[in-house]
Amino acid sequence: MIYFQTSIPRLTLHQSFFQDFMKKASPCFSLGYIESAGIFSGAFILRPEKPIPSTSTDLGFCFGHSVLEMGICPVFHFVFHFYDHGTFNGLVHLRSSLARRILQTMIKKQDYFFVSINPNRTITAFRSTHEGEDLVSLKTNFNCYKASPCPFEHYKNAVRIFSKNLGPRGRFLRWVCRDNADYLDFKAPRQEIIFEKLSC
Per residue of the chain (200 residues), give pLDDT as tens.
Answer: 333 333 456 789 999 999 999 999 999 999 999 998 888 999 999 999 988 888 888 887 788 899 988 767 789 999 998 888 889 999 999 989 999 999 999 999 888 898 999 888 788 888 886 665 668 889 999 998 888 777 888 899 889 988 888 765 689 999 999 999 999 998 899 988 865 544 44
Instruction: Provide the pLDDT for residue 44.
Output: 96
Q: What is the spatial distance between Cα 170 and Cα 161, in angstroms, rounded to a whole number?
A: 14
Question: pTM higher than 0.95 for the full model?
Answer: no
Instruction: Provide the pLDDT for residue 123.
Output: 84
Half-sphere exposure in the Cβ direction for 151 (13 Å, CA): 5
Q: What is the spatial distance between Cα 22 and Cα 13, in angstroms, rounded to a whole number?
A: 12
Instruction: Provide the pLDDT for residue 27.
Output: 95
Alpha-helical runs (H) found in the chain: 15-23, 54-57, 97-109, 136-145, 152-164
Q: At what angle do helices 97-109 and 136-145 cross, to 10 degrees?
A: 140
Asked if residues 193 and 18 have their Cβ atoms less than 8 Å apart, the reply is: yes
Q: What is the spatial distance between Cα 171 and Cα 18, in angstroms, rounded to a whole number?
A: 22
Q: What is the spatial distance between Cα 160 and Cα 153, in angstroms, rounded to a whole number?
A: 11
Picking from 26, 59, 197, the residue whose alpha carbon sits closest to that of residue 122 is: 197
Picking from 37, 32, 36, the residue whose alpha carbon sits closest to that of residue 14 is: 32
Q: What is the spatial distance between Cα 25 and Cα 43, in angstroms, rounded to a whole number?
A: 19
Instruction: Provide the pLDDT for residue 5.
Output: 35
Give 16's contacts (C-beta < 8 A, 6+ positions apart): 180, 182, 183, 188, 189
